[in-house]
Amino acid sequence: MRQHVNPLSSFFQLPLELPPPEQLFRVPDQPIHLDIGCARGRCLLGLAERDPHWNHLGVEIRRPLVTSADRDALASEHGNVRILFCNANISLEGWMKALKQDQLQRVSIQFPDPWFKRRHRKRRVLQPALLLAIATALQPGRELFLQSDVLNVIEPMVALTELSACFDRPVEDQRHWRASNPLSVPTERERYVLKQNLPVYRVLYRRNQNPLPSVSDLEQRWQEIDNPAEALTT
């Protein structure tokens, strides 16, 4: 099994300035789908072909994957997909802040790395600051899609998202776990898991109108939760 990259190591803590949409996409004003931790980017490359009226940005911390994924992205027919190297926890907030209002319309985090141990909590990709940066960039009604095959990974993500009170499940889909993927192209990990007949846990959220808590407030409440599965049932 591949080694995970430690996002807390000093190299990955250096902020990178990600290019604005004008430098990434042929038609920069189209709505953007951001996929965080996209690996080889096959899901985004497929979505870009199917949805030419969207722009698709993948970010990934493993540089060798980015090199080949972005080569394919640059060769894509519609000029509407790019894969960039960065630590999502360090370099995305500034990029999202600089976007035009309502330009970012969908964010996905799919099968993030399984950092199980509590002492590795800070290495997990969905941290309070990143969640709130996403919530700041998304207008009411816009989507956040989370999926994983590991309950111990998805439950803390769901617990954190619900603790923020910035997102609701769609009225028409209040199920705890969605049966299907709302995106029309599965990720590499998703294909692998489904082939083994293993379960996939999926949640679709929409940004609501609630004001954002402060990062420190959410951090503090998040630290107090020992068992995210319990937090979900209370």
The annotated binding site for substrate is made up of 117, 149
Whichever of 86 and 159 has its CB closer to ligand SAM, that residue is 86
Angle at CA of residue 79, ends 75 and 83, nearest 5°: 70
Residue 11 Cα to chain centre, angstroms? 21
In the beta sheet, which residues pair with residue 172? none
Phi-psi map region of 10: left, alpha, beta (phi>0 left; psi -120 to 50 alpha):
alpha
The verdict on 165 binding ligand SAM (CB under 6 A) reads: no
- Which of 46/52 has CB closer to ligand SAM? 46
- With contact defined as beta carbons under 8 Å apart, do 92 and 138 qualify? no
CB 166 within 8 A of CB 212: yes
Residues 177-196 that bind ligand SAM (CB under 6 A): 187-190
Three-point CA angle 17, 29, 161, nearest 5°: 65
Of 29, 72, 113, 168, which is the active-site residue?
113
Stretch that binds ligand SAM, among 60-68, 160-168, 208-216, 217-225 (CB under 6 A): 60-68
Q: Are 232 and 155 in contact (CB under 8 A)?
A: yes
70 binds ligand SAM (CB under 6 A): no
Please give the size of the binding site for ligand SAM, defined by CB under 6 A.
21
79 close to 53: Cβ distance less than 8 angstroms: no
Least separation in angstroms between residue 170's CB and ligand SAM is 22
Residue 113, interface with ligand SAM (CB under 6 A)? Answer: yes
Active site annotation includes 29: no
Specify the stretch interacting with ligand SAM by CB under 6 A; choose among 54-62, 194-202, 209-217, 224-232: 54-62
Would you please indicate which residues are annotated as catalytic (active-site) residues?
113
